[in-house]
Amino acid sequence: MVEFDLYVPGRSWLHRLDPRVKLLIPLGVSLLLFLHFTPLVVASVVVGLHLVLWRAGVPWRRLAWVWWMMLPLFIMVPLAWFLFQPVGRVFWSWGIFRLSWGGLWHGFWVVMRLLALALAAFLWLFTTDPALFVRTFVGLKMPYMLALTVALALRYLPTIAGLYIQVHDAQRARGLDLDQGPIWQRLRVRIPILIAVIIGTLRLAQYLGWALETRALGATLPPGHRRTVWRPLRLRREDKVVLGILVIVIMIILGW
């Protein structure tokens, strides 16, 4: 089985923070970016999230990986705004194309806002142990089966991505050329990689099904019994302080 976790082990205050409280950070960032979309706010949030993640011990290569994943959007979105969605003075137009430097600038900050949202989401994933996912959502009064479904998706999507990377690198090591020829040819030579990934994913699903079955998932509990957990989530005093601060910050953002 391929292991590819987003979680970065550490002992920072962000790692120790209750994951239910930690979810308020992406919520507050999302509200701020959608209600106050200005370059200053977006740039401040991006820089601030980088500093928080760096202080939490998240290595720069993980942050660079987020930028790399966003790279196609940094190319396509500003180009689309530049060609089709003018902002300010249009210096050239022909048919559906209406070019303006303001559109290019606005498109760039749209992608920066998406980057900030991605960093806020990864802040939770980078600093939260996957073993706490289910308890986090159950602690938020989500039905157990729904919480388990969401937690498994968050846990195994990176694993499937790691499986793709492993197969991709193995095929390249065997001499498969993935970067030559037109785009249709590049897509065609990736078909063996996709087939291997699908087979590996099916095997992973089978192993996961066996593991859940051995833990009696879906079994009816006897009267008077309930599911137990090894490490129940409890709000500490530090968690309550951070929770109060985050709630106040969110209220200020909504009232601003």
Domain boundaries, the chain: 1-128+246-256, 130-214
The structure's pTM equals 0.77
How far is 133 from 231, CA to CA, in rounded Å?
12
pLDDT (tens digit, 9 = 90+) per residue, 46-63?
999 999 999 999 999 889
Position 96: which residue type? I
Q: Identify the CA nearest to 129 among candidates 216, 47, 40, 17.
A: 17
What is the mean predicted confidence (pLDDT) over 191-220? 83
Structure confidence at residue 2 as a pLDDT band (50, 70, 90): very low
Say if residue 218's pLDDT is above 90: no
The answer to whether 113 and 127 are in contact (CB under 8 A) is no
Q: Which of 199, 197, 203, 202 is nearest to 167 (CA)?
A: 197
